[in-house]
Chain A
Amino acid sequence: MASLDDLKKRIASVKSTQKITKAMKMVAAAKLRRAQEGAEKGRPYSEKMNNIILNLSNGISDKENAPKLLSGTGENKIHLCVVLTSDRGLCGGFNTNIIRKAKSYFQKILNEGKNLKIITVGTKGYDQLKRIYKNNIIERLSFKDSKIVNYIDAEKVSKIIINNFEKKEFDICTIFYNQFKNVITQIPQEQQIIPLKASDAEGSSSEDNYEFEPEEDEILSNLLPKNIATQIFKAMLENSASEQGSRMSAMDSATRNAGDMVDKLTIEYNRSRQAAITKELIEIISGAESL
């Protein structure tokens, strides 16, 4: 059995760990509220954008000459995957879940004999993917310095994607992120953004006949790059809410586990202290009796 001093030290160390996890939980809870608000405020924009694109693509007459971003290159050889993860750890299964989802998709692509290219956003994703897919990663981004998720960062990502698309570097682009459902549940998502899937552009397609100025395809070719930025921004917002939610619940259970551990160690400490006292008493009594 460990000595009394050792036990005392362990209790103190677990207690200080508990203090840290508790503080992290509080911070995550506060950040979560902000991230959730941000995600909610950003929703009308992306919904409206989806609606307009849907209306436009319905109105487009010449499907063959539709912008490439909408219809795709017509091939299916090179896949670009954008994996969005966090920059910080200690957030439970948050990053692992995205990576797992992404890896199974990568495997599927490679098994089909197609080319794979990866862009990682967030350092944790790069750290986990570099071991296996180092040669596939064409770009790694991190927005560690931005305090909050902002649209300018999303635009940077979308610019890189669009530049690569224009250079015909890939045919299909998919993004991976966590969708925020509630504090305990985050669902890893894969979403194809190029070419745009009609099913992804949900919303009420109205039968209204719009007047377009300028022509539909001109508006579309202006709008589609913006839509990519919007989709990525949405994914980043969802991701940041998920990250904080995941961290909060991870830190909550860590705090609870630390509490349990302190209780157990305290009982052990008290028992061995009592045992020591009893032993001393027995020694004194038997010493007195032998006189």
Chain B
Amino acid sequence: MSEEFKVEILNPEKSFLSRDDVTEIVIPAFEGEMGILKDHISIISFLKPGIIKIFFKSTQESYYVEDGIVEFKNNNLSILTSSIFNVKDMDKHKIEKILKKTEEDSNGSEISDQDKYLIDQKIDTLKSLN
């Protein structure tokens, strides 16, 4: 039996990615990184800024996300997100641009602890990419 399942990543504007030969996916869930294999129990969770790693038979792809919702059901994984980029497309210039904007946000006065946590996560992720 194959150990593959289907992954769909949806943007508000379009379907970003749809593959049915995924062997493993690692997502930055809100309460910590989470690896999902085939026949995982149905789950709903949401994402914090981080890297989604998708493993195929012999290759691997990485995506940077800022937020999103994950649903896994019957070996179908859907990720709804409004901000996702392939790590390959993130050059130094782009990373620095986002980083600068995020740092400006974090200096804003009225942010809750949760927002602060999310912003810190974002900065850490971006720095690790850089």
- Give chain A's interface residues, CB within 8 Å of chain B: 38, 41-42, 44-46, 48-49, 51-52, 55-56, 150-151, 154-155, 206, 208-214, 219, 222-223, 226, 229-230, 233
Contacts and interface: CB of A to CB of B under 8 A. Distances in A.
B12 A233 contact: yes
Contacts of A44: 10, 15
8 contacts: A55-B44, A150-B13, A151-B82, A208-B42, A210-B43, A211-B42, A213-B34, A219-B46
B29 interface: yes
Contacts of A55: 44
A41 B13 contact: yes
B45 A219 contact: yes
Interface residues of B, number: 23
B45 A209 contact: no
Contact of B11 (A45, A155, A213): A45
B8 to A, nearest CB: 8
Contacts of B46: 219, 222-223
Contacts of B11: 45, 151
B82 A213 contact: no
A209 B31 contact: no
Given A210-B73, A226-B82, 9 more contacts: A41-B13, A42-B14, A45-B10, A52-B80, A154-B12, A210-B42, A219-B46, A226-B67, A226-B69
A137 B42 CA distance: 45
Nearest to B79: A48
A155 B12 CA distance: 11
B30 interface: yes
Contact of B44 (A38, A150, A151, A219): A219
Given A210-B42, A212-B43, A48 B78 contact: yes
Interface in B1-32: 10-15, 29-31
B78 A42 contact: no
Contacts of A209: 42
A52 B71 contact: yes
Contacts of A48: 10, 71, 78, 80
Given A41-B13, A42-B13, A213 B45 contact: yes
B41 interface: yes
Contact of B13 (A38, A155, A214, A229): A38
Nearest to B73: A208
A97 to B, nearest CB: 26
Contacts of B13: 38, 41-42, 150-151
Contacts of B34: 213
A149 to B, nearest CB: 9
A138 to B, nearest CB: 21
B116 to A, nearest CB: 15
Nearest to B30: A214
A223 B41 contact: no
Interface string B39-52: 00111111000000
Contacts of B12: 42, 45-46, 151, 154, 229-230, 233
A219 B29 CA distance: 11
Nearest to A152: B82
A233 B14 CA distance: 12
A216 B11 CA distance: 23
Contacts of B10: 44-45, 48
B40 to A, nearest CB: 9
In the A-B complex, the 5 residue pairs with the smallest Cβ-Cβ separation, listed nearest first, are A41-B14, A151-B12, A211-B43, A45-B10, A213-B45
A213 B43 contact: yes
A206 B31 contact: no
